[in-house]
Amino acid sequence: DAKTTQPTSMDCAEGRAANLPCNHSTISGNEYVYWYRQIHSQGPQYIIHGLKNNETNEMASLIITEDRKSSTLILPHATLRDTAVYYCIVRALNSGGYQKVTFGTGTKLQVIP
């Protein structure tokens, strides 16, 4: 799997948009970008994933640059409950073989009242 680079920590004011960047300059053409988060003392939670088009769901939006070397997870209106460690992961979806999910150190997002 391609290596990802994320800032160690970020702050965001409650109610504002939280923009979490991720660099994945060595991503391959068949690798997707996944985002998970882990709220303190809970299991990781899947947020969103995408290949090259921007994606949006009820939790967040994912913006992937045209060259696919970086992406941004956007939480449009951050709440205190969004305080968590956010993990950006890239992995292929080969129908054969298994691509393990490798969690890095992630970005610790602190939402401030």
Partner 1 sequence: DTAVSQTPKYLVTQMGNDKSIKCEQNLGHDTMYWYKQDSKKFLKIMFSYNNKELIINETVPNRFSPKSPDKAHLNLHINSLELGDSAVYFCASSRDRNYEQYFGPGTRLTVT
What residue ranges bind partner 1 (CB under 8 A)? 34, 36, 38, 41-46, 49, 85, 91-95, 98-103, 105
Look at the block and give the residue holding tokens 């988060």: 37
C-alpha 26/C-alpha 12 separation (Å) is: 29
In sign, the C-alpha dihedral spanning 16, 38, 67, 95 is: negative
Minimum CB separation from partner 1 for residue 21, in Å?
A: 20
Instruction: Identify which of residues 1 and 14 has a Cβ nearer to partner 1 in the complex.
Output: 1
Smallest gap from Cβ 13 to partner 1, in A, equals 25
Shortest distance, position 42 Cβ to partner 1, whole Å: 6
What letter represents residue 11's amino acid? Answer: D
